[in-house]
Structure 1
Amino acid sequence: MDSAPARSNPQPGPLSAALYRDRLHASNWFGGLGKPLQEILIDMAIVRRLADGEVLFRRGDPPDGLYCVVEGGIRVRATTADGREALLAVLEPVNWFGEIGVFDNQARTHDARGEGDTVLLHMPQAALMELLERAPQHTHAFALLLTHKLRLAFSVLEETALLPASVRVARRLLLMAAGYGDLRLGTRRVLRVPQEQLALLLALSRQTVNLVLKDFQARGILKVAYGEIELLDLPGLRDIAKG
């Protein structure tokens, strides 16, 4: 009898976005889409990896689609022509971003870089455009993501103009703990944000943020460690955030 032909060892294929299906359901936006659209997005998604500090896109780059952070983080910055920078957001799992370009097909408005070893799900622009042309009823779902970000932007502008530093710090910590309003499965207790980054996010001096955090720590509201902040008393932090 002839022997069976030897089988070659299969080579591992690219990482599948479906591996992150359960994690995506921690997002209010994704969890509310309904299963058909959820599966469409997972099927079109490409898994991308970034090293710490690696550029995803820069201001002025053409839009290339929608992203979701599933591991690590993304720093969103604005950079002026003379080299000055402002840190606008640090996005952790499972934040979605890039939706502006899905609607207006215009250039990227900010820079985005990896924060630590980062894994993203990328829904390419061409695939999204084809989806919305074929099934325009899904446009409303992406519009909800856009309007959520717009509400956040107005709230941050108001806080910057009107509120004292301690209230601004408390509100930003709570916002980050809630995944910028998109976490549906609980609240983060440990935030990976150095004091310097928090100061940049709030347009406050590092000294001011340091004093505020020391006061919060003395009151048992949080604990400051190297590169992170652990929230110990969420009700107490919410009381401060009320102003």
Structure 2
Amino acid sequence: MESQLHRYRPQLETTSWFRGLPAALRDYMVSHARLVHLKKGQVLYCCGDQADGLYAVLEGALAIGTVGVDGKEALLAVLGPTAWIGEISLFDRLPRPHDATAVGRVVLLYVPEAALLGLLDSTPAYWRDLALLMAQRLRLSFKNAEALTLLPAAQRLANRLLMIAEGYDGLNATRRTIKISQDSLAAMASLSRQTTNQLLKRLESQQVIALRFGEIAILDVERLRAASVGDVDRAQP
């Protein structure tokens, strides 16, 4: 198991937050971790569950969101390698604030809470390193809220695609192929499925993206960025 964990170490180092941790903290987290495997649709944890530690996505992706009493889904993000989750409950000791569900087959690095708290009790300075992860996620939440409130539909959709492609401002690795359904993307951008499809088709006709079964390929990041701020001229081929 240890050799398997260390096989993923270079991948973990690609994320700015983990790479910036003190070497001793990185070594400790990997040495006290274990792998968790999920099947498609399997729930890692639900909103209201008791916290049990930190997780990092190594393979696949997790859908982060909640489901209301009326069955309506609020999808916040789809996080792939090598995003970390779970730090909020580590700080406030309250239950999980959202659901985390496997989009497909998922492999996770799991660092148990007991191991983390033991280290943090002996080295309180490490709390700041974990706080940086939470601050990064908080800034992203503010940015998402502003986009949903202020941007028109076309910019909102392009902004969300760009955010995913660029790794949620460093929360996970950048990617040029986004494995996401149009229904999920519509939920994340607070748009109807029909509007989402129309806007994606427009971006495809401009050769900004390519639509494939279950995924969206980003063909031109700079023009997608232009579309996200409403620069129609730069977004054109």
Tell me, yes or no, if structure 1 residue 232 matches structure 2 residue 219: yes
Match of 2:95? 107
Match of 1:181? 169
Q: How far apart are the structure 2 equivalents of 1:51 and 1:91?
A: 16
Contact 1:192/1:227, CA 8 A, preserved across alignment: yes
Q: How far apart are the structure 1 equivalents of 2:150 and 2:65?
A: 23
1:61 alignment partner AA: D
Q: How far apart are the structure 2 equivalents of 1:97 and 1:59?
A: 13
1:96 alignment partner AA: W
* Post-superposition CA distance 1:25-80 (Å, at most 9, x none): 11110111132211111011111000001111111110111110000111112122
Deviation of 1:125 after TM superposition, in Å, equals 0.9
Deviation of 1:131 after TM superposition, in Å, equals 1.0
1:232 alignment partner AA: L
2:55 alignment partner AA: Y
Q: TM-score, normalised by structure 1?
A: 0.91
SS in 2 for 1:136: coil
RMSD: 1.5
Q: How far apart are the structure 2 equivalents of 1:35 and 1:172?
A: 33
Deviation of 1:98 after TM superposition, in Å, equals 0.8
Match of 2:142? 154
Match of 2:201? 214
Q: How far apart are the structure 2 equivalents of 1:74 and 1:189?
A: 17
Match of 1:192? 179
Match of 1:135? 123
Tell me, yes or no, if structure 1 residue 46 matches structure 2 residue 45: no
SS in 2 for 1:26: coil
Tell me, yes or no, if structure 1 residue 126 matches structure 2 residue 114: yes
Judging changes above 3 Å, is the alpha-carbon distance between structure 1 residues 206 and 82 closer, same or farther for their aligned structure 2 residues? Answer: closer
Q: How far apart are the structure 2 equivalents of 1:60 and 1:29?
A: 26
Contact 2:84/2:171, CA 8 A, preserved across alignment: no
Which structure's CA Rg is the greater one?
1
Contact 1:216/1:222, CA 8 A, preserved across alignment: yes
Question: How many residues of Structure 1 are paired with residues of Structure 2 in the alignment?
Answer: 230
Tell me, yes or no, if structure 1 residue 145 matches structure 2 residue 133: yes
> Does 215-224 or 33-42 show the bigger shift?
33-42
Match of 1:4? none
SS in 2 for 1:16: helix
Q: TM-score, normalised by structure 2?
A: 0.93
Which blocks of at least 5 consecutive residues in structure 2 are unaligned?
A: 231-237
SS in 1 for 2:119: helix
SS in 2 for 1:76: strand
Match of 1:88? 76
Which blocks of at least 5 consecutive residues in structure 1 are unaligned?
A: 1-12
Contact 1:67/1:120, CA 8 A, preserved across alignment: yes
Q: Equivalent pairs: percent with the same residue? A: 42
Contact 1:77/1:111, CA 8 A, preserved across alignment: yes
